[in-house]
């Protein structure tokens, strides 16, 4: 009886620790998103301060994605060397403090350099926090990755709101970003104290500092590419579409972008229940149907309300795809960090090219044709959803149970024998 009581106490302590880790990683995602929202609202101030034309600003805004794609493969090596908690603490602080850099840049060259560092720190911290989110999900034995990305969207909305207020008050972006960096760095450091601390085994070989995405991540990345393309096109072009194609007022046009962002956030926050009930493949396939229907509504819309409904359906359809793509990558091979970095690289590339691709197609034809392309890519979610089967937590659990029952593999179900989710097996 006494041994049972001690075991129950240990179980309670473990569950309390997991709940703290769950809350901590949610705060980390929120802080990460708040940096993005804080930066985005002050881009006009940064453009004016650096004296940039629209074309020069467009060039500079490509550098965050370039920095992310370049630095993401390094995240696995950093986690392997220092452990996941220390790695996240350092990389998240680098990201929050890097918020100060763009507003200090006096010209195009320095702004490009600042945004490269800004994007590199974002990408590395992104990989580590997603890997930790997946490990927390596995230990809790329930889906949380969609709601974690919902917390990122919530943080972005909070950061945007604070930035909009600062801009409305005419605050200097250098002061605004310095204060935001101090607050967000403090919150991030506090949260990182309670995230899981995953460490590689002493005999484990360090992952390469730079590596191409593993083959297991490529098809998953293609599905993520389709979703992020639709997301980036809708966020950057929905207001322009309503203004230019449907001749709406600037206020109504801007409201369509806000509605799309809110739809994304709400869907992600509630998406885990849907994934737990229906599985990753059915959820993404159904989402693809909604997204394709939304794109079709945008293309044929005779009036603004119909187009806004279409953008809302697009947001609903693609919201949980990227979280589930990361989940599938994290369970697709022996080195989850490398696979997540590979998928993240592909999706970031999609986010980089989507706005310019929509513009190029629109210049050659029309915005209506551009969103016909978005609709076609949304159909790719329906076709490709099956590659996310490894992201289905229930399927993974069943597979692990089958492995534990296999002859000669008696220790497969032993947690002590589990591979490090942030390092090589």
Q: Are the C-beta atoms of residues 225 and 349 closer than 8 Å to each other?
A: yes
C-alpha–C-alpha distance, residues 58 and 156, integer Å: 21
The alpha carbons of the chain give a radius of gyration, in whole angstroms, of 22
pLDDT in single tens digits along all 425 residues of the chain = 444 443 444 455 578 889 999 999 999 999 999 998 888 878 889 988 999 887 788 788 888 888 988 888 888 888 888 888 999 999 999 999 999 999 999 999 999 999 999 999 999 999 899 989 988 988 998 889 889 988 998 898 888 888 888 888 889 999 999 999 999 999 999 999 999 988 766 556 655 555 556 676 788 999 999 999 998 888 778 878 888 899 888 777 767 777 787 888 889 888 888 988 999 999 999 999 999 999 999 999 999 999 999 998 999 999 999 889 988 887 776 666 677 877 887 887 887 778 778 878 888 888 899 999 999 999 999 999 999 886 565 555 554 444 443 433 433 333 333 333 333 32
Q: Are the C-beta atoms of residues 109 and 169 closer than 8 Å to each other?
A: no
Q: Count other C-beta atoms under 10 Å from residue 365's C-beta.
A: 12
CA proximity to 350, closest of 372, 327, 318: 318
Q: pTM score, two decimals?
A: 0.74
- pLDDT attached to residue 177: 95
Cα separation of the two ends of the chain: 38
CA-CA-CA-CA torsion sign (161, 102, 117, 233): positive
- pLDDT attached to residue 34: 93
- pLDDT attached to residue 86: 94
- pLDDT attached to residue 418: 33
C-alpha–C-alpha distance, residues 230 and 239, integer Å: 14
C-alpha–C-alpha distance, residues 129 and 35, integer Å: 15
Phi, psi of 246 (to 5 degrees): -110, 5
CA 12 from centre of chain: 32
Burial 12-27 (b: 16+ CB within 10 A, else e): eeeeeeeeebbebbbb
- pLDDT attached to residue 201: 61
Burial 117-154 (b: 16+ CB within 10 A, else e): bbbbbbbbbbbbbbbbbbbbbbbeeebbbbbbbbbbbb
* Residue 303 buriedness (CB in 10 A; 0-12 / 13-18 / 19+): exposed
C-alpha–C-alpha distance, residues 43 and 114, integer Å: 13
Give, in order, the Cα–Cα distances in Å from 344 to each of 22, 75, 324.
22, 12, 12
- 153, two tokens: 């969207």
Burial 60-83 (b: 16+ CB within 10 A, else e): bbbbbbbbbbebbbbbbbbbbebb
107 DSSP assignment: S
Q: Are the C-beta atoms of residues 230 and 350 closer than 8 Å to each other?
A: no
Q: Are the C-beta atoms of residues 315 and 191 closer than 8 Å to each other?
A: no
- pLDDT attached to residue 392: 62
C-alpha–C-alpha distance, residues 43 and 173, integer Å: 9
- pLDDT attached to residue 29: 96
Q: What is the largest distance, in Å, between two alpha-carbon atoms of the chain?
A: 77
- pLDDT attached to residue 288: 96
CA proximity to 387, closest of 226, 264, 149: 226
CA 121 from centre of chain: 14
**Chain position carrying tokens 């200097």:** 172
- 205, two tokens: 């070989």
Give, in order, the Cα–Cα distances in Å from 336 to each of 80, 157, 178, 227, 234.
12, 29, 34, 21, 30
CA-CA-CA-CA torsion sign (355, 360, 363, 368): negative
Q: Are the C-beta atoms of residues 224 and 346 closer than 8 Å to each other?
A: yes
Q: Count other C-beta atoms under 10 Å from residue 376's C-beta.
A: 12
Q: Are the C-beta atoms of residues 255 and 282 closer than 8 Å to each other?
A: no
């Amino acid at each position: 009886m006494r041994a049972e009581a001690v075991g129950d106490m240990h179980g309670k302590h473990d569950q309390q620790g997991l709940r703290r880790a769950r809350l901590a990683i949610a705060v980390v995602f929120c802080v990460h998103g708040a940096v993005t929202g804080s930066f985005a609202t002050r881009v006009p101030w940064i453009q004016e301060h650096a004296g940039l034309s629209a074309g020069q600003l467009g060039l500079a805004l490509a550098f965050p994605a370039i920095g992310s794609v370049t630095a993401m493969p390094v995240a696995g090596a950093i986690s392997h060397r220092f452990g996941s908690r220390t790695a996240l603490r350092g990389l998240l602080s680098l990201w929050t403090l890097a918020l100060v850099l763009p507003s200090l840049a006096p010209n195009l060259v320095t702004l490009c350099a600042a945004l490269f560092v800004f994007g590199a720190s974002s990408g590395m911290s992104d990989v580590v926090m997603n890997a930790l989110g997946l490990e927390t999900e596995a230990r809790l034995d329930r889906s949380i990755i969609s709601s974690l990305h919902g917390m990122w969207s919530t943080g972005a909305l909070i950061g945007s709101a604070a930035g909009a207020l600062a801009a409305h008050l005419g605050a200097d972006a250098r002061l605004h970003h310095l204060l935001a960096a101090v607050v967000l760095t403090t919150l991030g450091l506090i949260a990182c104290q309670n995230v899981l601390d995953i460490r590689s085994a002493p005999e484990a070989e360090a992952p390469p500092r730079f590596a191409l995405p593993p083959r297991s991540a490529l098809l998953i990345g293609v599905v993520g590419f389709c979703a992020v393309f639709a997301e980036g096109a809708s966020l950057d072009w929905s207001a322009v579409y309503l203004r230019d194609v449907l001749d709406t007022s600037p206020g109504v046009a801007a409201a369509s972008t806000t509605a799309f962002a809110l739809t994304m956030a709400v869907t992600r926050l509630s998406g885990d229940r849907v994934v737990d009930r229906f599985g990753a493949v059915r959820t993404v396939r159904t989402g693809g149907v909604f997204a394709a229907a939304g794109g079709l509504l945008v293309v044929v819309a005779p009036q603004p309300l119909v187009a806004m409904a279409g953008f809302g359906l697009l947001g609903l359809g693609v919201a949980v795809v990227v979280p589930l793509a990361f989940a599938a990558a994290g369970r697709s091979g022996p080195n989850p960090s490398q696979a997540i970095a590979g998928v993240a690289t592909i999706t970031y590339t999609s986010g980089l090219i989507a706005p310019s691709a929509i513009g190029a197609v629109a210049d050659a034809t029309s915005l209506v044709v551009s969103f016909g392309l978005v609709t076609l890519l949304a159909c790719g979610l329906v076709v490709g959803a099956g590659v996310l089967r490894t992201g289905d937590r229930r399927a993974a659990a069943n597979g692990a149970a089958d492995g534990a029952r296999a002859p000669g593999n008696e220790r497969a179900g032993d947690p002590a024998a589990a591979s490090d989710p942030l390092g090589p097996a």
